[in-house]
Chains A and B, each alone.
Chain A
Amino acid sequence: MTTAASASAVSPSTSVRVPVWAWALLAFAVFALYFVSQENGALLSAPAAQMLHELTHDARHALGVPCH
């Protein structure tokens, strides 16, 4: 009971108001992560995806993403 009360007393000073656009930005960042690590032709044309795959190749291996 006392812990719950002190936790709620602390929260107003440490909480940050997160605007709605921040979640769109988060979605974009996750999409960017997908794009550089996983995109292999689902969105791009085959030659463009091949080019992207070859350019990001070493980082994809290093990040542990399954690659060919």
Chain B
Amino acid sequence: MGLSFGSVLRRGVLAGVSAGLAAAVVIWLVVEPVIRRALAIEDMRSMHGGQSAPAGLPTHGGDEPLVSRAAQVVGGAVTAVLVGVAVGVVFAVVFARMRERLPGRGDFGRSMVLATIGFAAVSLLPALKIPSNPPAVGDPGTVGQRTLVYAVVLLLGVAIALLVPVLDQRLVARGTVPATRWAIDVVATVVLVVLVLVLVPGSPDAVPADVPAALLWDFRLASLAQLATMWLTLGLVFGLLLERVAAPKRALEPVAA
């Protein structure tokens, strides 16, 4: 059964839109309430004229805001959908290129495997090294350094996701039995992830004293929930859509013949 790239790409875009919409719902219901708690802290700082917080900490308030809060909430949802579509396009191209090498039962299984790898490599690994922060946390002076750490860890995550399959192919070529091969793959992945987490320097920032630990935890959990929702929806919808390409053909063939 030949599958054209165009049909894979169309399903990637559709799955991406669904993933973006699902992520936008999670942002609206889960992330926004935590952002509101963080903005209340920023407002407290600007009300005290920045006295309660050390100099250089973000205080969005004060003068007239460029964009209203309502527009920011809508803008955030639109951004989530755009990110979903872009991730869906990348997902479709990588899936098409890697289809015959992805493990998993059928296209649904392959899609879920690729979505899991994507979540782990470009979302979870950076989140473990440099966790997300709500507004009111984060020194504007170190944003360049933090962005660099984020980008480096993300690229290292992609590198691990590419390296381990190469190792696996080598082991296949050597005739290693599947159980041993799996064990070596898992150990290699764990060792590489631990090396990244230990060797790459973390965020240079200290969390300001007026930001409660519970707020930070809630925000990081909400952020991961949003990212996991995006990848899970992408994998599920893309997989189901591809399974449906094959299913009607099988059903119709006897009728046509």
A: which residues have CB within 8 A of B?
1, 3-4, 7, 10-11, 13-19, 22-23, 25-26, 29-30, 32-33, 36-38, 50-51, 54-68
Comparing B135-143, B182-190, B233-241, the segment that makes contact with chain A is B135-143
B222 surroundings in chain A (CB, below 8 A): 62
Nearest to B7 among chain A residues (CB) is A16
Interface size on B, residues (CB 8 A): 64
Residue of A nearest to B176 (CB): A3
Contact yes or no, B99 A22, CB < 8 A: no
Interface residues of B in 30-47 (CB under 8 A from A): 31-32, 35
Chain B nearest CB, measured from A37 CB (Å) = 7
**Seed contacts A25-B89, A64-B223; 13 additional CB < 8 Å A-B pairs:** A4-B173, A10-B100, A15-B99, A16-B3, A19-B5, A30-B90, A56-B76, A58-B31, A59-B75, A62-B35, A62-B80, A62-B223, A64-B132
Contact of B93 among A3, A23, A59, A65 (CB under 8 A): A23
CA distance A15 to B107 in the complex (A): 12
List residues of B whose CB falls within 8 A of some A CB. Answer: 1-5, 8-9, 27, 31-32, 35, 58, 65-67, 71-73, 75-80, 82-83, 86-87, 89-90, 93-94, 96-97, 99-101, 123, 126-127, 130-135, 138, 140, 143, 146-147, 149-150, 172-173, 175, 178, 203, 219, 222-224, 226-227
Q: Is the CB of B82 within 8 A of A68?
A: no
Contacts of A18 in B (CB 8 A): 5, 93, 96-97
